[in-house]
Amino acid sequence: MSALTIFSDSDPTAPVWQSRDAEEIAGELNKISVRFERWQADRDLGDDPQPEQVIAAYQHEIDKLVAEKGYQSWDVISMRPDHEQREALRRKFLSEHTHGEDEVRFFVAGAGLFCLHLDGKIFQILCEKNDLISVPANTRHWFDMGGSPSFTAIRLFDNPEGWIAHFTGDAIADAYPRLGE
């Protein structure tokens, strides 16, 4: 189940707000210009869909976002516990960074933890199946896929080159709870 936990950026031990209600989560995130919504496929995808099947099932939702925001490209990423580079990728994504464009992810299956650092707070958003999150450009954040990652997500980009991170060098992510720990 999706969740939002908010901490002070000076105290990782005591949450100041928590919810598992999708409407409450969307409301809180809207206050910081983060889009959070739920999507549904227009067909059954089965247990192990191919990327083109995933895109086709959500094309109606992708088209709405493209018309609204002008995204130029999208793809499907999947991560499994047996991926050879899962540990290196996890470490990379766990470092606080920004992007020059919105970071848009829709979780087709599995889960991931987005952590946003702004306004003196840490917003930890557990995204699961059917969750869309759009983190605004230049927002300091990190992503935790967990020690045994298992997710499939659609990524949408403004930039045709795809995911480009600008690392802040701040080790704040090391102090906050991680996915599955």
Res 104: pLDDT: 95
Res 43: pLDDT: 80
**Residue spans of alpha helices (H) in 79-177:** 86-93
Q: What is the pTM for the complete model shown?
A: 0.93
Res 162: pLDDT: 60
- In sign, the C-alpha dihedral spanning 21, 111, 11, 27 is negative
Res 126: pLDDT: 98
For residue 50, with 0-12 CB atoms within 10 Å meaning exposed, 13-18 middle and 19 or more buried, which class applies? exposed
For residue 112, with 0-12 CB atoms within 10 Å meaning exposed, 13-18 middle and 19 or more buried, which class applies? buried
For residue 69, with 0-12 CB atoms within 10 Å meaning exposed, 13-18 middle and 19 or more buried, which class applies? middle
Task: Please name every residue paired with 132 in a beta bridge, in sequence order, or none if there are none.
Answer: 37, 106
The closest alpha carbon to 116, from 131, 107, 127, belongs to 127
What would the pLDDT profile of 85-101 be if each residue is shown by its tens digit?
999 989 989 999 999 99
Using CA atoms of 134, 15, 91, 142 in order, give the dihedral in degrees to the nearest 10. Answer: 20
- In sign, the C-alpha dihedral spanning 117, 120, 126, 127 is negative
Report mean pLDDT in 10-residue bins for the chain, 181 residues: 96 97 97 95 83 94 94 92 92 93 94 97 97 96 95 88 83 95 75
